[in-house]
Amino acid sequence: MSERKVRVRFAPSPTGALHIGGVRTALYNYLFARQHGGDLIFRIEDTDSNRFVPGAEEYIIESFKWLGIKFDEGVSFGGNYGPYRQSERRDIYKKYVQVLLDNGKAYIAFDTPEELDAKRKEIPNFQYDASTRLSMRNSLSMSKEEVDALIAEGKQYVVRFKIEPNEDVHVNDIIRGDVVINSSILDDKVLYKSADELPTYHLANIVDDHLMEVTHVIRGEEWLPSAPLHVLLYRAFGWADTMPEFAHLPLLLKPDGNGKLSKRDGDRLGFPVFPLEWHDPKTGEVSSGYRESGYLPEAVINFLALLGWNPGNDQEIMSLDELVKLFDLHRCSKAGAKFDYEKARWFNHEYIIMKDDRELAELFMPIIKEHGIDVPMETVVTVVGMMKGRVSFVKELWDTCKFFFVAPEEYDEKTVKKRWKEDSAKCMTELADLLESLDDFSLTHQEEVVMKWIEDKGYHTGNIMNAFRLTLVGEGKGPHMFDISSVLGKEETVRRMRRAVEVLK
Ligand code: GLU
């Protein structure tokens, strides 16, 4: 058994946008598959047609493409275990439902919703199980002839799993250890419905995990209650020997308080809970996404990886490749992980700094163009290299850097009051003349010449530099002065200086 190739799956139901918790589940599956040289499968669990949302499947695929999480096989990726969309596997499930019926592990039930409701009223805490099933209308309480006749008549039915009472069922969970529940608390779950000829989640999930040779089921904590039932199903099929190992990941908790992280928390506190912007086809509602909010996919991956796991030391910045090496399913926490969106911003800031200047410039260029500005890529690369440490998002680069591309129209009043002295106009005219006379406008040469001029004239360096900054930037911020002037070039620098002198006198 231990020689089996590791095979894991991410198996979303296409019921809407993919929640960031689902992204983390997929990420952990990905890391686990990669580090074991295994396969990651992408399966679509769409047997509940009532909850199907058009566009959701495409949305999920696009999300992972953006994030750089690659699947080895599955819907849209191909592979030898397909089809990977459950709605295309009806015949397979029918066959396995029959297996359970034939070996007496499941039975046919005809109870209508009205009959079930009536029972619930009659018996407090009614549960369809060993204690009640013989008083219901099913193939255990009725004769074979009766059952066959009803089916021949076209009566709709469900197939229920026949759970034996009073047995301790053990789920051996990699993260939670030995989880034990007594089978008497389980009801005889519906596995199949004749009405739509489709299995329910439980049956399809187990059959597919088996047929797709899944070795580890890594999924969100919300599925833990289903696990004992799944264990019983594996046994009923006689597949206990190849039953996957389970790992139920901790919940993602809201940033404030203890509940589960929801979309409402995101709306309330101003952060996305979806990887990409989502347009709900039913309500028309638009929900923000990490991509559209300006997050880099590497940053999203990194901060998600740390929600429920850590490398055992205080290392925080890890690339996807490093995560593959360091990730350890056994080190995942049982306790819920608090979602910290301030931390998400911090990660983005760090990844912006690490990002190659040219790549950043390419992301920034469209924003510059939107402002109607035409500037060579080389200039943007230089500017971005200087300024990226000051922002958390590419879109913030505009406000931080716009003085490189647009001359100031006004001069910040406070800065003028503080920095524009009696002799500033005179000094700036002198400096403009000096700079205009330079043939070599390189940063180092400018600096050399200007510093010597300040010394010769006996000027105060701080005063000169502050006034110089005000003329070029319009306020008191920005990087080193000669960084700015050398990017602006001689003509623009001198032009800005002369205009400032004129306006400020
Ligand atoms: N279809 C389930 C979901 O939407 C899959 C649960 C599982 O991984 O077993 O999350």
DSSP secondary structure string for all residues of 30-44: HHHHHHTT-EEEE-B
- Nearest alpha carbon to residue 33 among 74, 80, 76: 74
**Contact 400 CB / ligand 1 (< 6 Å):** no
Q: How far is CA 1 from the centre of its chain?
A: 33
Q: Please, is 495 exposed, middle or buried when counting C-beta atoms within 10 Å of its C-beta (0-12, 13-18, 19+)?
A: middle
Ligand 1 atom nearest to 205, measured from its CA: 9
CA 73 from centre of chain: 20
Please tell me if the domain spanning 90-198 has the same topology as the one spanning 263-351: no
d(CA 202, CA 40): 21
Q: What is the pLDDT of residues 8-31, one digit of tens each?
A: 999 999 999 999 999 999 999 999
Pick the CATH number of 7-75+211-249 from 3.40.50.620, 3.30.70.2610, 3.90.1300.10, 3.60.15.10: 3.40.50.620
Contacts of 334 (CB under 8 A, 6+ apart): 175, 176, 250
Hey, where are the domains in the chain? Answer: 7-75+211-249, 90-198, 263-351, 355-404, 413-504
Report the alpha-carbon distance of residue 214 to residue 4 in Å, rounded.
9
Radius of gyration of the chain, Cα coordinates, nearest whole angstrom: 33
CB 338 within 8 A of CB 253: yes
Beta bridge partners of 217: 246
Could you tell me which CATH number the domain at 355-404 has?
A: 1.10.8
Find out whether the beta carbon of 223 lies less than 6 Å from any atom of ligand 1: yes
Q: Whose CA is nearest to atom 3 of ligand 1?
A: 12
Active site includes 162? Answer: no
Question: Quick one: tokens of 483?
Answer: 């960084």
DSSP 353: H
Any atom of ligand 1 within 6 Å of the Cβ of 486: no
- Relative to the CA of 22, which ligand 1 atom is closest? 10
pLDDT digits (tens, 9 = 90+) for 122-167: 999 999 999 999 999 999 999 999 999 999 999 999 999 999 999 9
CB 11 near ligand 1, within 6 Å? yes
The whole-angstrom distance between residue 319's C-alpha and the CA centroid of its chain comes to: 15
Residue 334 bridge partners (DSSP):
none
Distance CA(327)–CA(38), nearest Å, equals: 15
- CATH number for region 413-504: 1.10.10.350
Q: Are strands 245-249 and 216-220 parallel, antiparallel or unpaired?
A: parallel
Q: Please state which CATH number belongs to domain 263-351.
A: 1.10.1160.10
**Ligand 1 atom nearest to 226, measured from its CA:** 9
**Of all helices (H) and strands (E), which one includes residue 249?**
strand 245-249
- Kindly tell me the number of DSSP H helices and DSSP E strands found in the chain: 19, 15
Residues 6 or more apart in contact with residue 3 via CB below 8 angstroms: none
- What's the pTM? 0.92
Please identify, in words, the CATH class of the domain defined by 90-198.
alpha beta
**pLDDT tens digits, the chain, 505 residues: what are they?**
458 999 999 999 999 999 999 999 999 999 999 999 999 999 999 998 888 899 999 999 999 999 999 999 999 999 999 999 999 999 999 999 999 999 999 999 999 999 999 999 999 999 999 999 999 999 999 999 999 999 999 999 999 999 999 999 999 999 999 999 999 999 999 999 999 999 999 999 999 999 999 999 999 999 999 999 999 999 999 999 999 999 999 999 999 888 999 888 988 888 999 999 999 999 999 999 999 999 999 999 999 999 999 999 999 999 999 999 999 999 999 999 999 999 999 999 999 999 999 999 999 999 999 999 999 999 999 999 999 999 999 999 999 999 999 999 999 999 999 999 999 999 999 999 999 999 999 999 999 999 999 999 999 999 999 999 999 999 999 999 999 999 999 999 999 999 999 999 8
CA–CA dist 223, 229 (Å, integer): 11
3-state secondary structure of 308: coil
